[in-house]
Amino acid sequence: MNLQANNTAAATADPNKLMDRLPRDFGEIVNILLQDGVLTRKQIEYAARVQSKIYNSKTMLAVIKELKFIDDEQIRNTIRENLASVRIGELLVELGLISQTVLEAGLNLQAEEKPKKKLGEVLVNHHLIDERKLIEVLSLQLGFPFVEPEFTTIDRQLFSTAPLRVYKSHNFIPIRYEGDKIIVAFVDPLDHRDIDEANKIFNQRVIPAITTKKSLHEALNRIEPSARPQTAVTSQKDSIVEIVDSLILAAIREKNVSDIHLEPLQDRLRARFRMDGVLMHFKDYPLDYMAGITSRIKVLCEADITEKRRHQGGRILFEYKEEIMDLRVSFYITVHGEKIVLRLLNRQSELLNIDDLGLSPRMMERFRLDALDCPSGVVLVTGPTGSGKTSTVYSCINYLNSPQVSIITAEEPVEYVIDGISQCSINPKINLTFDETLRHIVRQDPDIIVIGEIRDTFSAGVAVQAALTGHKVLTTFHTEDSIGGLIRLLNMDVDAFLISSTVVCIVAQRLLRKICSACSEPYRPTPAEILRLGYNPRELHGARFKKGRGCPHCRYTGYKGRLAVFEILILNEAVRDGLLQRKTSHQIRKISTDTTGLVTLFEDGFFKAAKGITTVEEVLRTLPRLQKSRPLEELRRLLGD
């Protein structure tokens, strides 16, 4: 169906015939809104013309809502008053959760299912839609409260009103009284058969809520233990040791998880994984498990299990497939208990070749010739936590490592073990501190010194002094961009002439999510996005923007994996003079872009979005825009790609 053509036709059609066209062209909800007098034919005609002209396909309901002809409350009321006539598939399409193509695929799969299943269940089982996303959006859009019975106190007397088999066959469970009404959680609150059955049992006093099938069955099993299959292994029977081990193993097997977050909430312990730089929900545990899980992790990392009032830290060496995984652990006291974060380290497979970092050809050439191949000087890699600084530093070490060179490091902790270099892992518990290590490091006759992080005036001074005596120094720093690295060194009371004499290069970087290759499709930025980018349409000539549609391969996010964007400042005489004259960061940035060919983080990210590797949305979400970006054609010349 050519939706835009149909919309244009609708705009010029006979108004008396428009009503007959609505169910097919614009959706059931729009039709009902028109029949109820909430919308007029004139409004729908205008919305159809608008829909036919917008760049990105939107449902008619979304267009009407953006035009402010209706609001969310009116949509919710309409759906709830017409539950019997609204079909779940059409509703999902109208709300923009799935496409018409996905709906048709789901209906075909449903026709083949034996025994026959509900459409929502088929869509979830075949990974055509994520269940949690489906539930949350339906809850928000339809106004049904989102309830998770496995973490909710259920009124046992109310539960005994009907036999267990009724709850299991109709997929609902009563929760509690709300005045003279009863909150009942349904897996599918749009199924009028289930609603009718609940109303018959509870005398028409039902307030529908929405829940997941898993949560419903966990609650039923908890209340009626005899109903569980004898062979089933439930979470309540799992030992705490198995729970912790399975949690860590699940994170390791995902391959792109950098952190595990265990967060105590009011009614549960929530586990989330940081995947591709974004936190994703993994699993929830009952509050009863929290004390045991916390104690188990404390035992593994040799923290004090009796201390529950102060923050703590530790380290776990976890065996997996004949390898030792290094996990850094942090315990943080919150109002609901101890939050635990485990960072996964020592991933040998992530040690990248310098050519695989993602630097553009000309940027890589300058970085090699003017920074890494220099006999001495400080190379700073800057960025916030989790921006890939350590991976870049280790790639540089790998590039520089040879039998003719002595490389020595001071790190907290050692994150990658590389043959042929001397790596020291700082351990304050035995007084092996940064200060102590840095005092001895230059006595080891090194050619290259790697300092894990410049964290104070002392470590900054050691890096500068080592460079003055002819050593090459690689280190990391927490700043927003490359110019910020120079400014922060000045604020740490390092003299400007020492910085200009020793720092040869500053690399600023960020990590952006890559578009999933399995579901990427061409994308045209909206006028609002183009305006936020700071461009006009003429400057985007030759761009090939893309966006992920969402699929099982990427967990319906549209992203899979990450890529780095860079800003490399090679200090030339003009930049050094600006530093000595204590010019502002804006002035130094202007000098750098004019004289060194500096390409900013935002420009590098935008260029990669224009190549279809990442999205405009990701660039705007992640990267600082500190000056007007140059046209795409000029960036192509500067980056040599």
Class of domain 144-227: alpha beta
Query: What local confidence, expressed as pLDDT, does residue 500 receive?
Result: 92
Query: What local confidence, expressed as pLDDT, does residue 11 receive?
Result: 39
Query: What local confidence, expressed as pLDDT, does residue 245 receive?
Result: 92
When the candidates are 1.10.3720.10, 3.30.450.90, 3.40.190.10, 3.40.720.10, the CATH number that belongs to 240-346 is: 3.30.450.90
Instruction: Look up residue 453 and give its amino acid.
Output: E
Greatest Cα pair distance, the chain, in angstroms, is: 91
Q: Which helix (H) or strand (E) holds 175?
A: strand 172-178
Query: What local confidence, expressed as pLDDT, does residue 84 receive?
Result: 65
Query: What local confidence, expressed as pLDDT, does residue 114 receive?
Result: 79
Coil, strand, or helix at residue 78? helix
Query: What local confidence, expressed as pLDDT, does residue 606 receive?
Result: 95
Query: What local confidence, expressed as pLDDT, does residue 544 receive?
Result: 93
Instruction: Tell me if 110 sits within 8 A of 117, measured CB to CB.
Output: yes
- Closest by CA to 486, choosing from 514, 456, 506, is 506
When the candidates are 3.90.1150.10, 3.40.50.300, 3.30.2310.20, 2.30.40.10, the CATH number that belongs to 350-639 is: 3.40.50.300
Query: What local confidence, expressed as pLDDT, does residue 83 receive?
Result: 67
In the chain (641 residues long), the average pLDDT of successive 10-residue segments reads 37 42 64 87 87 72 86 80 75 80 83 81 78 74 82 87 90 91 89 89 90 86 59 52 92 88 91 90 86 93 90 87 84 94 72 87 92 93 90 92 91 79 80 79 88 87 89 91 90 90 95 92 85 86 88 82 94 92 89 91 95 94 89 90 73
pLDDT per residue as tens digits for the range 118-148: 787 788 877 778 777 778 777 766 778 888 8
How far CA 144 is from CA of 93, 94, 206, 225, 564, in Å, comes to: 19, 18, 12, 29, 41
- For the chain, the first-to-last Cα distance in angstroms comes to 39
Q: What is the pTM of this model?
A: 0.72
Query: What local confidence, expressed as pLDDT, does residue 7 receive?
Result: 38
Query: Is it true that the peptide bond before 413 is cis, omega within 30 degrees of 0?
Result: yes
Q: Which residue has the tokens 């897996």?
A: 187
CA distance linking residue 587 with residue 350, whole number of Å: 38
Domain boundaries, the chain: 3-127, 144-227, 240-346, 350-639
Q: How far is CA 374 from the centre of its chain?
A: 38
Query: What local confidence, expressed as pLDDT, does residue 4 receive?
Result: 37
Q: Which helix (H) or strand (E) holds 333?
A: strand 323-334
Query: What local confidence, expressed as pLDDT, does residue 24 receive?
Result: 44
CA distance linking residue 259 with residue 598, whole number of Å: 33
CA distance linking residue 59 with residue 51, whole number of Å: 8
